[in-house]
Amino acid sequence: MKVFANKSLFRKENLFLDAYYSVRSWFRYTFNKYHRKLVKEAFNGRPWDEGYLFDLEAAKIKEMVDYHQRVQRFEGVEYAIRDMKICLSLIEIFTGKRNTFHYTGGLKFVEADKEVEKELGEEGLLEIKETSDFEYHCDVFVNTKNVDRFVTDKRVTKFYLEHPHELYELKARRLYHKIRYYKEQEWWD
């Protein structure tokens, strides 16, 4: 049995050309504003900061969205971009970068009792008191009927019903991780 092969299949490696393409690719995908923001975010991390990981993930997802919008390498990339943008929005919600509640009314500062000052060992302390018109307002609609699906401790359920924006953030975090679990492997080309 004879086997024939074309010489072009076994090309000699051109080290200079390979080095050129490697360096060009490195510059193309490293020197853009999203990658610089990602590196900056990675250097600003602290071991006690729980939000650091989500800020780092958001920076990487922004870089990936930019890359996929420019390149459009595979079919269905628009669905991957959509999922990544949803994840970015969810990260904004549960890291507190998006306002979901506010208070109306006022606060007044009153001098603390002498007994409290003596107990704490400080002088000139002020105590914050709410005025009669001080109220909490949730700025987003939250379905509180399914709170048991997200909160297992019955003692904590009352807190989430009184502060629905906290339940909203809990739901956003759960949805973010669900999207990452099911769709993350489709984000890469």
C-alpha count within 13 angstroms, C-beta hemisphere, residue 49: 13
Measured CA to CA, the distance from residue 25 to residue 22 in angstroms comes to 5
**Mean pLDDT for all residues in the chain:** 86
Give the pLDDT confidence of 111-141 residue by residue, as tens digits: 888 787 777 777 777 888 888 888 999 999 9
Binned average pLDDT, 10 residues per bin, the chain of 189 residues: 57 75 79 81 78 89 91 89 96 93 87 79 81 90 93 90 94 96 84
For residue 137, which of 99, 101, 172 has the smallest C-alpha distance?
A: 101
- pLDDT at position 20: 85
Q: Quote the tokens at residue 8.
A: 């072009």
- 137: Cβ–Cβ under 8 A, 6 or more apart, which residues? 101, 102, 103, 104
